[in-house]
Every structure is written in C-alpha cells, then in structure tokens.
C-alpha cells in the first residue's frame, strides 16, 4: 500500500519534505481480535511537528476491510472511527473504563504504525461504528484532537456552574472543538484567548461569549471580564511560552487549570498553590466511551470540525501549512 | 492582658527571642456577632517560623468570655474551638460552605490579632462548641494544623480505593494527623516518608502501614511498595526542597499530588503532566463544617494529637524547639 | 397594607373565592437581620391549591423597603428576589450550603406570612440583588417553581452524558423551566411528556427535542425513542396518578427517577429496584446558591419564564385559572 | 461430573430435598475466551430459596482447569474467584466499567449453569487471580453476597462524613460483610438492627458501634442514637416485611436509603420524598473492579467471612439450615 513515511527527523522543521509518499508492506491480521481499516481520513496533528514520536499519525477513520476470527460487532464494510489506543481490555484500568491508563497498549502512529497510509491495523476494542450522518473524512480528527479537547472540556463542565467563567487559551485544532463542547455541556461563560484574529473569529462561531487578543494583557482582560476573580476553569491548549504562567494567573482561587498543550514548563512556588487552593489537571486524550459521547455530539451537529482537506500524497503540504500557522481548524489527509 | 508579641522579624531565625511576653490592650466587643474567647490553648505552627504573616497565632481554643448582642447558640462559659477564619457569611463562597474562599474575612494571627494571648476577639461564625471529652488545650492545634491535614486527607480519601496506596511526605505536626485521618476515612495502604526515625515511629503509631526513611531513595522505595506504579495519592506536608519533585515522581499515572507544605517550587514540563495525566491539588486550611467533622473524629478517639505543652510566657522556648526540630507532633501554649 | 388572605379552606376547591383581598397589619422590623420587601411580583403556585399549608405565598421579588440594624450588603431601594426559606445560617446544614435542611427556619407563606400582600418580612440571608436586566415581577416565580425545577434538572445534568436521554413529565409552571435548564446545563436529548398539546408546544419552544402526548402509551413512546432502554434520567413534575409508575418504567436500568410533583404514591416491589438498580431522588426546592445560579441563567436569557400577570386584588382569578388548567407557564400577582 | 441439581421447584420450601446430587455432563470450551474452573467453594445464597432463577449457584471460586485459545493472563492451575456475570466487554456499559448493566451477559446459576458442581464454564473477563493469602473455599461467597454488600456499602461510604451515622438492617450473610466494609471505608458510626441476638453479637465483632434489637421500636432507637435526625445512610439487607417502611423512617432528611434485600414492597407518598428530600438507591451486585477491591480488603484482613462448610453432596443440609435461620454468616459448599 501507499503511505507517507518519516525517514529522518529534522529538528528545526525547516525541511520542505517532512515525509515521503511511498510503497510499504500491507498490514495483516494475525490475532483473533485484529481489524484492518481502510483509511478514509487521517487528521494532521501538532504532535507531528513535535515528532518525538516518529510519524504516521493516529487520527483515523475509514471502513472495515478485514477482521480477525474472534471479532464480533463490526463487519467488513462498516464505516468506523478508531480510538487512538489499542488495548487488551484485561487490566484493572481498562475494567474501570479508564483505557488511557491501560497497562498494555499500543498507540498506532506513536509506538506502532499509524494512519498516514491506505490501511491501518487495529483491534476491535478501538472501533466505534459511525452513524450515517458522519463520513470518515469528516470525523477523523475527533479521535485525538477532538477527544483530547472533549475530555478536558468535559472535566471542566462537571464543576462549572451558571455564573462562572471558563477561559480557553488557543482556538486552533483542539481549541475550536473544546469551545463547542463547553457550549454544549455547561452554561459557564466562555472566554477565548488567541493571538490570531482569524482564530478569534472561529472561536466566536464556535460559541465563545468573549474573545481576548493575546497581546500581553490577556490576564488583565480576563480579570476585568470576571469581576476581578479570574475564571473558575482555564483550559490551556497552548501549554508553552508564557501561556502557562498567564493561564495560572487568570485561574480563580479554588479554580482549575487544565493543561492540554505541551512544550513549556510549569513553574510556581508551592505557597501560591496553598493560598489560592488551585488545582492543576493533566489531560491525556480520552476514553473509548468519551469518543462515543463526542460522536453523539457530532451526530446532532452540536460539534462541528473545521477541516481543510489534502490528499495523502500531499501530506507534506499539510504539515507545511500547519507548521506555518496557515490552518485554522484541522488538516485532514484523504485517500 | 498578657500576650506574646512579635516586634521585629529576624529573617535568619537565629534570635533566641522570637517574641516578647508583655501587656497589651484587652480586646472589646464592638459588633453584634463578636465573641471574646479566653484562650485555653494555642497551637504553635511552622508558619510562625516563616512568619511572613506577623505573629500571634491562629490555632485557638478556650472558653467564651463575652458575646455581642446578636450572638445566639453559644453562651459565656461554653468551651469552644475557633475556626481560624472570621467571615460574615454573606458572600457566595460562604453560602456554598466554602468559607476559606470568602470575599471578606479576617484571619486572626495573620491579618488580625491572634491567640498567643490571654483573650481572642472572634465572631460567632467561627466557634464550635466542644464535647465534654475534649479540653481546649488538647484540641487547639486542630484548628489549623489539624484542619489543614484533615482537608487534604479527606480530599484524597474521596477517590482512594481498596488496593490503592497513599504516600504521606512528612510525619510532623500536620502529617501525624493526616495519617490518622486517612486511616479513619479510607482503606488505602498508607506509606509515610520522613527523615527522622522518631517521626517514622510516630507515623506507625498513627496508622502507617509502611514507613520509608527519606534518605534519597524514597521514590524507588515507594515504587517498590506499589508494584512499580506509584501511589494513587501523595500528600506532601513538606513542600520544599526535593520533596516536591520526589512527591510528583512517586505519584501514579492518573493520580493526585496534594501540596500542603510550602517554601519550595513546583517545576515540571507540561508534557509530563500530559503523558501521566496527574493532578496537582493546592490545599488551604479547611471549612467550618470540616472542623466539625474533625472534632467528631477526635471525640471518638479516632484522631489523637501528640502535643507538648508550654506556658504562654515560654512561647520562645516552644518556637525555639520547633525551629530546631525537637517537636514530634505539635507544641501548644497554655495560660 | 392590603393582602389576599385565606380564611377557610374549601377541600373541593369549588369556591369562586379562594382568598379575600383585605387590610392586614403591616410587618415590622424586630431583629437585627430583618428586612422588609415591597412586593413587585408574587408567583402563584400549585401548592396553593393543595393548600395544606395555609395561604399567602412564597414566590416573591420586589424592592427593599426597610432593613434591621445589622443588615449589610443590601440597602433600601435595591431590587431583590427572595429565597423562599429564612434561615439563621448557624446550623451545620447551613454551614455546608444546604439551606433547605436547616434546623431552624421559617417558610413565609407556609409557616409564616407570605407574599400575596404589599410587603413581606424576611431576613438578609434570603435576599439576592437583581441585575438590571431583571424586573421583580418577571422573576418572582423563580424563587420556588423555578428553583425547584432548577435543582432537580441540575442534579440530573451532573450525570447526563451526550448520547443519553432525559424525560420530563409535565411541561407546566415548573416543567417549562426545567426543560430550559436541562438544555443549558447538559447535552442529553430532552423528551417531554404532557397531556396538553399547548404545553407540548411550549416544551418545544423551551428546547425539547422530542415531545410525547400522554395518551396512555407514553412509556412505549419513550422506549421507542431510546433504543428500548429508557431515559437515563426522568424528572417527574406531576408526581400523581399513573405518572409515577410510568415514570419509573421509562427510567433506564442504572438510571435516576427524580420526583418533584406530589399528590400520588410510589409503589414498587424491592426486587424491581434491585434488578434495575434504579435510584429514586426526592427534591426539595433549592439552595440560596442555586437561586443565584438560576438568576445568572435568567440574566443571560438562557431561561425565560412564561408568565401571565394578575393584580393582587385579582388573586382569585389567578387561582381559578390555575385550578382549571388555563395557565401554560406561571401566574404572577403584581401590585 | 457431579452436581447438585434442582429438578422441580417447591414453592412452599417444605421439601427436605431441595436439590439432587447426581451426574451431569462436563462443561466444554467452545469459544476463544472460555475458561473452565474446578470449583473449590460455592456460596449458598438466600436467592436459592427464592429460586425464581432455577438452581446451581453463582458464588464460585476454584482453580483454572482449562482455557480457550484466546485466553491471556490466567493459566491452568491458577487459583481464581469468579465474578458472577460473564460479559463480552464490548457494549458501552462494559466500556465504562459498569459490567452489571452489560447488554449481553450470562449469569451462571441464574440463566446459565452455575457452581453447585465440580466444574464451572465461565469466561476470562470474569476471573480474578487470588493472592496466596486467600483459599477458594474461604472467599467464594464474596462473589455475590460479598460483592453486593461491598457495592452498597461503598456507595454509602462516598458521602458519609465523620459525625454521621449509617444504619444497617440485617446482620446475616450480606450484612456482616457490609458492616466490615463500612468500618474500613468510612468513619461514620455504624448502627446495626437485627432480630437475632446472635447476629447482633456477630455485628459487634464486625465493627458495629451500636446494635439495636428489631423488636418493633427500632425506628425510635435509631432516632434516639442520632439526636433525633435519623441515619444519613440506611442499608437494608432485609428488604421485606416492615423493614422497608422502618428503614425509610429512620433515614435522615437529605439522606440515602440503600435497598439490597428483596421480597417486599416500597410504598410511600411522593410528598414524603419531597419534604424529606431522601434518595432511594437500588443495588445490583457489583463490578469486576469492585470485586478486585473487595479481594484487596480480604487480603489485608479488613474483611473476614464467617462461613460454615458443607460438602457438595450435602447441599440440601446447607439449604435447609439457611431456610431455618441456622446460619449466622454464610454457608459454603466444598468439593
């Protein structure tokens, strides 16, 4: 089959050619629960630019091409979306529904072959059948970008009450989904902070009640909007540079700072955690059940992906546009 | 009345005389809900050594000496313990039971006169009547050290399940109470880490299932006790030096690191928060209702304070002993 | 002052004259925290037809007319809405924010004089200042009907996930608010059941996704809409007749049946509770903080009251119309 | 193999011969995840007397005798305890860790062959490996009686605070485990109600703080112990006769009544649920993860089963003794 393969990693990301489009061996069914999915869409992720993980990525949806002998519940031809993690389901974390902390798991695109290719080898436990309203290429980015944003926003929505505020830092590929999830799951007022005017426009379309240009005074702006107390939840989709310190500063006393983006460093005196009684929450993708929940939102039109399509053979263009900040929403590779 | 007063703050804490025992003006009732308490015991707190806050401290219990005209529910002569914060009860945080985040409040001993004295001016909303089983001098340290330890341990107990582990860093004035609270409120196995053998002995008496000497290999020791996964909850009563980085390292994936002690700094890459999905939780004393709960534990003998008594006139000896690590448990000033 | 007073209770509610409009003694400030409110609007409640409680009712909003010497935070002339319960704030339930279970409390209109009058005596702890967007006569019914619906809907929203269903039985004075609160606080699909076509129309305006005519086959209709499993939450605003048994039958296994309306009886074998693992939840008005939350929703236009206004002197007309099912939404008495 | 088989059901339970000990066909592996367990102990359950379900029961532990080709994680010879439900793990309930509400499941002993036999056919997803401290015959009753008691007690422990009370109705096979679980998981005071003095003695051994003889005045006795307010949680292991009405009456306002036993009927006016804001909670066995948690308690000696052993060939004696109330704790059939 054809695939877009990383051969060597260019630390400075100056290369025009991030990946090579070439022939690779077809995946094969070897275990009872294996499933091969013909890729209909593969999301392009900022993690691909960090690329500590290798390449071929992990946001995939398509059609079931072949199934192992033990597979029940999906059949060849079904349109499916793939949870990014492949787990056996036997450890205690899995049994509690907490797939992401499974003891044994494979992460296609990170520690196994991923979906910048025509076919993907995965397992039955990773597949969710799509409703007719949703085409694979339109939903692929939900499996990682979408799911990560969903989980963080859902955590926040569990404690956000009417009259409270949530600040979202970054309205890009993840952020623009997070905003829609917040609007669907709670009645807090949503403040969105971004450097790009275009992203702030997207934020408004997605349901932001207030937008703040990240011009150096974003903490003051959030305090002004919140009667001086800060936001009860801050979801930081940037996670690098001064976003972190600012995100913590705009969190209200007793509030929660959800960290989703990465690349930077948290640095603060313990005394500040004590006197403000804040909580800092790490977020790692989401569970299978949460992906089902997100699909339910998408099926009802409560969450919409803003995507830009590229052919698999043009993967480099997509990575290039992402690297240079030309994508507002999410890039998707199609066959 | 007599009081132990801080006149100047010695940064290096080298002075033999931390405070002066002298005559000061008696407090007076001026508002309808005011109450004056004759101090029966005042806890001596490590915060007094940080002393950014001034002096006269905030762990007080005694007997009602005088009440304002609007006070109901307590009467002169009642033995009481004083919640450390004086609030009006009208803001939304108070109405939700979250006293510590009240918009308007006074913190006797920090931003108001405290209890290293014969009498304390406070308000009705701060007082809990003591059951007959508990004498003021025996319970005073519960109001801050005890309450702070209780709240952090209670938070952890809400998610700790049988088969899981909680690591307690520091078995001193707060830690030895936290251990007992954990033993009362959940069935997780309790691992206690401390530098002092004497504190580890106290930890065992308090209910620790495993003790670990803080000799530089404490992370490895905790991983060894927990099948390599770390503790689902870590409560850090030290909060300075390498305790913080070690505490975070011994927290299991998906687990919670509760920060109670202070003086140091949290420093970690955001990527570490993402891949491990940990949560860092700040802790600020506790609510009035939580102090009632802690008194219920004390009344039933489920939590016992290990105290060392000093006369109010000997406040300097107590502060000196605390500063030099000679107190295992908690020092209390009595009249 | 003028008031609409119940003199004798007519069990069959056949009387044309439920109350008499007459002169009564003005209320007076006697305690430090007392407040007198000049009524701008008083909601007319189905409880007034059950009238076990006497009369003069408990859904009031208006302007502060006089305050006791200890009152802070509100001043004469402020427009306010009155939480239905007057509490001292000293018991443990109050301190936990759980006002409704206060040990000492008065319930104007039930065990004290209520608001079918020109003035109401209440306490500072019951008052919430209104934002400029909200006039007293437009929000009065929120204090009981609205608050009760809000609390039940909020409880349900805490566990309702995308892809799940909530069934609302009864789209009247409480139900039509409950529907709007659910739409604001969660992303579950809302199914509304009522006998009256007009109420189902109101339900759709309020955000119902599906409406079901209560024609005897409502359980089957809900099962059909929910793939045969029932609704994960059912909120029963009727609570009498066959609504109860039907409500329990349309609750999914592991789901919650919230009972709000009353007059009927719950009857079911314990074995049915075991095999289905359902939960039946009682609901009693709501807390002060929840009324603040509801006001925040109203201020943003996320919840709107459908009201019909009557002069205080025409209270009998309002009670008559309510009794004969002519009010879709809520009746309000104005000065 | 040998089994104790029900041939005809005697409604009045007057028969001396409940089951016949005879030869039946050996179970066989037919699917990849099948496992055959050689029974080391089978708990005898009150459900066997209700026997609506057929016979051969569902509380089993033993040793792995044979495994299907897809089985990982357990091997022949491992000592195991069997979760009572066999599920495929693919439905959303399973994926959330909520096994008991699986869409497709088999319940050996209820709708499939059970464990009053030498061998049991089950699946890998039902097995938990036993620590060396626990022998199959000593833990078998944990899988249903124990697990059911554990789940109800755990639910209660999530909200029970120090200073609060939990009332346990019935200190038999389930109740005596529930008491120990409560003592391990929370610090509420435990009140146990039973008709038999011997059961109350067992309750005290298990950790009850107060015992109340069920002599008709048990509601008054519980109110007297709880300052008149009732218990914040009531766990009813009887669930028939007047236990239900009494259990509801001794539940505090805002409290929870957990129903575990069955046979009787819940009957109460909806108005009573409203004014008291109580919650009635159904309880159905427990999840796989909860059985792991219970095994952790057993391994540490925090929960001990009081068992009486009978040979499989003497199953009728066990059923007879149970029927006549001669078993205080739990009967177990051994090979």
pLDDT in tens, C195-241: 999 999 999 999 999 999 999 999 999 999 999 999 999 999 999 99
Q: Tens digit of pLDDT for each residue in A237-267? A: 999 999 999 999 999 999 999 999 999 999 9
Closest CA relative to residue D266, chosen from D249, D244, D247: D244
Chain C CB contacts of A225 under 8 Å are none
The predicted structure's pLDDT at residue D56: 42
What DSSP string runs through D179-205?
A: HHHHHHH--SEEEEEES-HHHHHHHHH
D28 touches A: beta carbon within 8 Å: no
CB < 8 Å from C in window 151-180 of B: none
Q: Tens digit of pLDDT for each residue in B82-118? A: 998 888 888 999 999 998 999 877 666 555 555 577 9
The predicted structure's pLDDT at residue B55: 38
* Nearest Cβ partner for D162 among B163, B186, B296: B296
Q: Which residues contact D10 (CB under 8 A, 6 or more apart)?
A: D18
What CA–CA distance (Å, rounded) separates C39 from C62?
4
> D220: how many CB neighbours lie within 10 A of its CB?
12
Q: Tens digit of pLDDT for each residue in A103-125? A: 877 666 555 555 577 899 999 99
The alpha carbon of residue C233 is apart from the nearest alpha carbon of chain A, in Å, by 16
DSSP state of A258: E
Q: Average pLDDT in the A184-197 region? A: 97
Chain D CB contacts of B304 under 8 Å are none
What CA–CA distance (Å, rounded) separates A124 from A101?
18
> In this structure, what token pair is assigned to residue A245?
């310190």
Q: Cβ A289–D73 below 8 Å, yes or no?
A: no
* Inter-residue contact D234 to D256 (CB < 8 Å): yes
C75 touches B: beta carbon within 8 Å: no
D285 SS3 class? coil
The alpha carbon of residue B239 is apart from the nearest alpha carbon of chain A, in Å, by 6
> In this structure, what token pair is assigned to residue C49?
């037809």
**Residue in A30, A69, A70, A95 to test binding to D, most D beta-carbons within 10 Å:** A95
A261 touches B: beta carbon within 8 Å: yes
The predicted structure's pLDDT at residue C56: 42
Q: Cβ B270–A254 below 8 Å, yes or no?
A: no
The alpha carbon of residue A213 is apart from the nearest alpha carbon of chain D, in Å, by 39
What CA–CA distance (Å, rounded) separates D191 from C7?
47
Strand runs labelled E in chain A: 2-5, 20-23, 34-44, 60-67, 79-82, 86-87, 105-106, 119-123, 127-129, 165-169, 189-194, 210-213, 231-236, 251-259, 265-269, 279-282, 307-311, 330-334
* Nearest Cβ partner for D276 among C254, C268, C282: C282
Average pLDDT value for chain A: 89
What CA–CA distance (Å, rounded) separates D313 from B312?
76
Give me the percent of chain D exceeding a pLDDT of 70.
90
**Residue in D129, D182, D187 to test binding to B, most B beta-carbons within 10 Å:** D187
pTM, entire model: 0.94
A255 touches B: beta carbon within 8 Å: no
The alpha carbon of residue B313 is apart from the nearest alpha carbon of chain A, in Å, by 31
* Nearest Cβ partner for C161 among A162, A293, A302: A293
The predicted structure's pLDDT at residue A78: 97
CB < 8 Å from B in window 175-214 of D: 184-187, 189
The alpha carbon of residue B186 is apart from the nearest alpha carbon of chain D, in Å, by 5
The predicted structure's pLDDT at residue C105: 73
* Inter-residue contact C328 to C198 (CB < 8 Å): yes
Q: Tens digit of pLDDT for each residue in B59-90? A: 889 999 999 988 888 999 999 999 988 888 88
Closest CA relative to residue C59, chosen from C285, C282, C316: C285
B135 touches C: beta carbon within 8 Å: no
> In this structure, what token pair is assigned to residue B96?
């939700």
What CA–CA distance (Å, rounded) separates A244 from C176?
43
Q: Cβ D269–C269 below 8 Å, yes or no?
A: no
Average pLDDT value for chain C: 89
B84 touches A: beta carbon within 8 Å: no
Chain D CB contacts of A292 under 8 Å are 92, 95
Kindly indicate the confidence band of residue D168, based on its pLDDT and cuts at 50, 70 and 90: very high
> B197: how many CB neighbours lie within 10 A of its CB?
10
A51 touches B: beta carbon within 8 Å: no
What CA–CA distance (Å, rounded) separates D208 from D176?
9
Q: Average pLDDT in the B30-34 region? A: 86
Kindly indicate the confidence band of residue C110, based on its pLDDT and cuts at 50, 70 and 90: low
C241 touches B: beta carbon within 8 Å: no
D49 touches C: beta carbon within 8 Å: no
A66 SS3 class? strand
Chain C CB contacts of A158 under 8 Å are 158
Q: Average pLDDT in the C236-250 region? A: 96
What CA–CA distance (Å, rounded) separates D156 from D151?
9
Instruction: Name the closest residue on chain B to residue D160, using Cα atoms.
Output: B185
What CA–CA distance (Å, rounded) separates D235 from D167?
6
Closest CA relative to residue C43, chosen from C321, C318, C235: C318
What CA–CA distance (Å, rounded) separates C42 from C313?
12
Kindly indicate the confidence band of residue B32, based on its pLDDT and cuts at 50, 70 and 90: confident
Instruction: Name the closest residue on chain D to residue B298, using Cα atoms.
Output: D162
Kindly indicate the confidence band of residue A21, based on its pLDDT and cuts at 50, 70 and 90: confident
The alpha carbon of residue A15 is apart from the nearest alpha carbon of chain D, in Å, by 42
* Nearest Cβ partner for A280 among B100, B101, B280: B280
> In this structure, what token pair is assigned to residue A215?
């011009």
Average pLDDT value for chain D: 89
What CA–CA distance (Å, rounded) separates D58 from B21?
73
Lookup result for tokens 């915060």: B47
Q: Which chains form contacts with chain A, at 3 or more CB pairs under 8 Å?
A: B, C, D
The alpha carbon of residue D180 is apart from the nearest alpha carbon of chain A, in Å, by 24
C65 touches A: beta carbon within 8 Å: no
Q: Cβ A163–C189 below 8 Å, yes or no?
A: no
């Amino acid at each position: 089959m054809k695939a877009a393969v990383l051969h060597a990693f260019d630390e400075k990301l100056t290369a025009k050619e991030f990946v090579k489009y070439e022939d690779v061996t077809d995946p094969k069914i070897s275990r009872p629960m294996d499933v091969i999915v013909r890729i209909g869409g593969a999301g392009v992720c900022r993690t691909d630019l960090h690329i500590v993980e290798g390449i071929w990525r992990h946001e995939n949806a398509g059609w079931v091409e072949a199934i192992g002998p033990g597979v029940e519940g999906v059949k060849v031809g079904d349109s499916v979306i793939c949870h990014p993690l492949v787990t056996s389901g036997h450890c205690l974390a899995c049994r509690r529904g907490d797939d992401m902390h499974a003891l044994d798991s494979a992460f296609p695109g990170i520690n196994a072959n991923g979906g910048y290719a025509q076919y993907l080898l995965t397992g039955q436990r990773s597949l969710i059948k799509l409703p007719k309203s949703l085409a694979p290429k339109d939903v692929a980015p939900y499996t990682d970008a979408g799911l990560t944003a969903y989980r963080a926003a859902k955590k926040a929505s569990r404690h956000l009450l009417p009259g409270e505020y949530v600040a979202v830092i970054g309205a890009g590929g993840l952020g623009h989904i997070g905003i829609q999830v917040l609007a669907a799951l709670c009645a807090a007022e949503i403040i969105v902070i971004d450097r790009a005017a275009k992203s702030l426009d997207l934020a408004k379309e997605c349901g932001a009640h207030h937008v703040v240009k990240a011009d150096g005074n974003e903490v003051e702006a959030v305090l002004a909007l919140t009667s001086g107390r800060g936001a009860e939840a801050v979801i930081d989709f940037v996670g690098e540079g001064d976003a972190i310190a600012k995100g913590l500063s705009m969190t209200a006393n007793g509030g929660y700072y959800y960290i989703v983006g990465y690349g930077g460093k948290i640095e603060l005196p313990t005394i500040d955690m004590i006197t403000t009684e804040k909580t800092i929450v790490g977020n790692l993708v989401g569970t299978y059940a949460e992906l089902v929940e997100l699909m339910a939102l998408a099926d009802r039109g409560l969450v919409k992906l803003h995507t830009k399509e590229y052919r698999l053979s043009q993967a480099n263009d997509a990575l290039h546009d992402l690297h240079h900040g030309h994508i507002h929403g999410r890039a998707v590779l199609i066959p």
